[in-house]
Structure 1
Amino acid sequence: MAEWLIERGIGEDRALLVEGDEMLAAKLRWAGELHAGEIVTAKLVAKPSGSNRGLAVDGQGHEILLDRLPPGLTEGAPIGVQITRAAIAERGRFKRAQGRAIDTASVPAEPAQESLFPSTEIRRFPAGLWEDVWENASSGQIDFSGGTLLFSVTPAMTVVDVDGQLPPRELALAAVKPLARWLQLFDLGGSIAVDFPSLEAKADRKAADAALDLALHDWPHERTAMNGFGLVQIVARLEGPSLLHRMATSRVGAAARMALRRAEAVEEPGSILLTVHPALKAKLKPEWLAELARRTGREVQVETDPGIAIERSFAQAVPL
């Protein structure tokens, strides 16, 4: 039976839907951000006259776009807000969080952290699982037998290019299962365009559509049938930035959090030496390093090496 597992890291929470040894889906949430489903108290700071839309700000300064506001609310009024979509950073713009107004009596006195993931909390995922997800999100490339999926994040949509050396029909059919799997492991939502090889025969396009129906049957979405150029558009609920969005717009921040995870996993005795690219050191907040020292019970040292890639930080134990 599939089960969500959560690993509470430093600066982020990670979740994997696991069935046996197989990963089915993943989610990543960063500390300090609003998340879909979260309920907060905010103040209505802007509401155009005659409109049911407005802008609210919570106690942490997060701006939240609201729609379908009930009548009678005026600027300055305290309101309860349930977040429907987290804020998303994109190239050249920032999309504010979205939410809906609720009765302030529905706002819990304490944040319901556990409700964000219907999960079992564990200290650490089984070896290699999160590393696999993270590395593939970092590269944006998934290799499968006979071909490759190349994921690209744009402000309008996520584009997936199916490439390979197989004949077009075989390549399209071979790409379906890895596509369905990694759409969920990357936590993708919104508009997704998949560029399969062009299939001239209608029967071949129908075969690809049938394979997609089967592979995506348990994932809520809508999609178009494959057209003559091999293009399929998929639309799924968008609740926040995907793992691919994190890598595209906050790669250094993502790499800094991964560096802390590697440091926390060091088992050998001694103090911890964390070696990172110079660009990463500025992202390692003092409170994060203090939390790393608290969790491990060790002294933490950070050194920089301009010769290593941003994603390739490493941690080791050194003598005290």
Structure 2
Amino acid sequence: MAEWLYEDGVGEARAALVADDRIVAARIELPDTLRVGTVARARLTERMVATLDDGREVMLDRAPPGVTLGAALTVEVVREAIPEPGRAKRARARASDAAPAPGPDLLARIAATGHPVRHLRAHEADALEAAGWSEVLEEASGGEIAFAGGMLRLSPTPAMTLFDVDGDMAGEALAVRAATAAALAIRRHGIGGSIGIDFPTVTGKAARQAVAAAIDAALPPPFERTAVNGFGFLQIVRPRPRASLPERLRDDPVGAAARAALRLIERTPVSAPARFRLPDAVRARIEATPAWIGAIVRRTGRAPIFDR
């Protein structure tokens, strides 16, 4: 039976849905995220922009009727901020009559799926790693996803997330396997919005239908897709309430590496030396974040020492 593994980590919350000892879905949430479902007071500062009381800006899905510039209103977040090269897409919101309240956090969301949730502790065996946590993070940050007979190359872009298929098998067989692998990766990494898959040339209607059927069988709804066109391209559109795992890790690779290092530091046995050698940028980020150091000291009872 599938279950969620959940860690309240230093600098991030982590969760993985695990079935048959492998990760089906991996999620990371940062503590300062303006979450979907958050209802907050704001002021209309542009026709389609509201500024929350804490200073963060949200894009409105439509101009609120009867609200003039500078007037107060209440908004509900319907999409979290999406990191992109240059400037992130601001969170999206709509006017609301609801009472201000925070949106559900990662733990609440996974609990609502109906799958059991197991809380992991640092002194226990590393169930996340046993299920392939590091491999999933490497897929997200590096973009290479191996499957039997081939390789997917994942590339998030501002317009869409692209998968390119490569392999040595015959065209149709490779495309069908790649379709299944891409669908599983989309779910594993929480990829939404517009998604394109560039398959090797697939000739014949039956072959193209087999590729599309493989997507339908492996990717849970809701989603819409096109057929495979004559150039081997298929497009999928899924809801995009928040950033995917690749977008999250690639937006701040040093921060992601620092939080991963903190996870290993927290799991280091007390009997082992508390000295660690990290890349300079990662060490500097940790040392520049007193809240992380304080959390590690509280959780482990000792301060880490970083060799230079």
TM-score by length of 2: 0.88
Query: Relative to structure 1, is the Cα distance of residues 60 and 263 closer, same or farther in structure 2, using a 3 angstrom cutoff?
Result: farther
Q: Equivalents in 1 of 2:195, 2:104: separation in Å?
A: 31
**SS of structure 2 residue aligned to 1:274:** strand
Q: Which has the higher strand share?
A: 1
Answering whether residue 18 of structure 2 is matched by residue 18 of structure 1, we say yes
**Residue pair 2:150, 2:168 contacting (<8 A) in 1 also:** yes
Secondary structure of 2:216 counterpart: helix
Unaligned runs of 5+ in 1: 49-53, 305-320
Q: Tell me by how many angstroms 1:69 deviates.
A: 4.9
* 1:72-91 matched pairs, under 5 angstroms: 72-91=66-85
**Aligned residue for 1:123?**
120
Q: Is the 8 A contact 1:47 1:74 kept in 2?
A: no
Q: Of 257, 260, 263, which aligns to 1:258?
A: 260
Secondary structure of the structure 2 residue equivalent to 1:4: strand
Give 1:216-227 correspondences, 5 Å limit: 216=219, 218-227=220-229
1:93 aligns with 2:92: no
- Whole-Å separation in 1 of the counterparts to 2:270 and 2:294: 19
SS of residue in 1 equivalent to 2:274: strand
**Structure 1 equivalent of residue 292 of structure 2:** 288
TM-score by length of 1: 0.85
User: Contact between 1:271 and 1:298, CA under 8 Å: does it hold in 2?
Assistant: no
SS in 2 for 1:191: strand
8 Å contact 2:159–2:194 — kept in the other structure? yes
> Given that residues 276 and 306 in structure 2 are in contact (C-alpha distance below 8 angstroms), is that contact kept between their aligned partners in structure 1?
yes
C-alpha separation between the residues in 2 aligned to 1:303 and 1:297? 19
Show CA shifts across 1:68-118 (max 9, x none): 35433334444333211111221122211111222252x23x775443442
* Aligned residue number for residue 311 of structure 1: none
Taking the aligned partners of 1:36 and 1:140, their CA distance within structure 2 comes to 27
Equivalent-residue separation in structure 1 for 2:186 and 2:94 (angstroms): 27
Measured in 2, the distance between the counterparts of 1:282 and 1:203 equals 56
Distance in 2 separating the partners of 1:90 and 1:271 = 39
Paired AA for residue 128 in structure 1: A
Q: Return the match for 1:202 from 202, 205, 208.
A: 205
Moved more, 266-275 or 173-182: 266-275
| Contact map agreement 2:270 2:300 (CA 8 A) in 1 | no
* Structure 1, 64-73 or 80-89: larger mean CA deviation: 64-73
Judged with a 3 Å threshold, the aligned counterparts in structure 2 of structure 1 residues 192 and 33 are, in CA distance, closer, same or farther, namely same
Contact 2:179 2:212 in 1 (8 A): no
Gaps of 5+ in 2: none
The one-letter code of the counterpart of 1:185 is: R
Q: In the superposition, relative to structure 1, how do residues 230 and 14 fare at CA in structure 2: closer, same or farther (>3 Å)?
A: same
Residues 93 and 111 (structure 1), Cα distance of their counterparts in 2 relative to 1, 3 Å cut:
closer
Alignment-derived partner of residue 146 in structure 2: 143
The SS at the match of 1:267 is: coil
Q: Could you tell me whether the CA contact under 8 Å between 1:79 and 1:104 is conserved in 2?
A: no
CA distance in 2, matches of 1:233, 1:59: 39
**Displacement of 1:121:** 5.4
Which of 210, 214, 218 is matched with 1:211 structurally? 214
The alignment's C-alpha RMSD in Å is 2.1
| 1:188 and 2:187 matched | no
Matched position secondary structure for 1:23: strand
Q: What is the deviation of 1:32?
A: 0.8
Paired residues in the alignment total 295
Query: Is the deviation greater in 131-140 or in 155-164?
Result: 131-140
The change in CA–CA distance for 1:102 and 1:115 in structure 2 (over 3 A counts) is farther
1:190 touches 1:238 (CA, 8 Å); kept in 2? yes
Change (3 A) 1:74 1:118: farther
230-239 vs 174-183, which moves further: 174-183
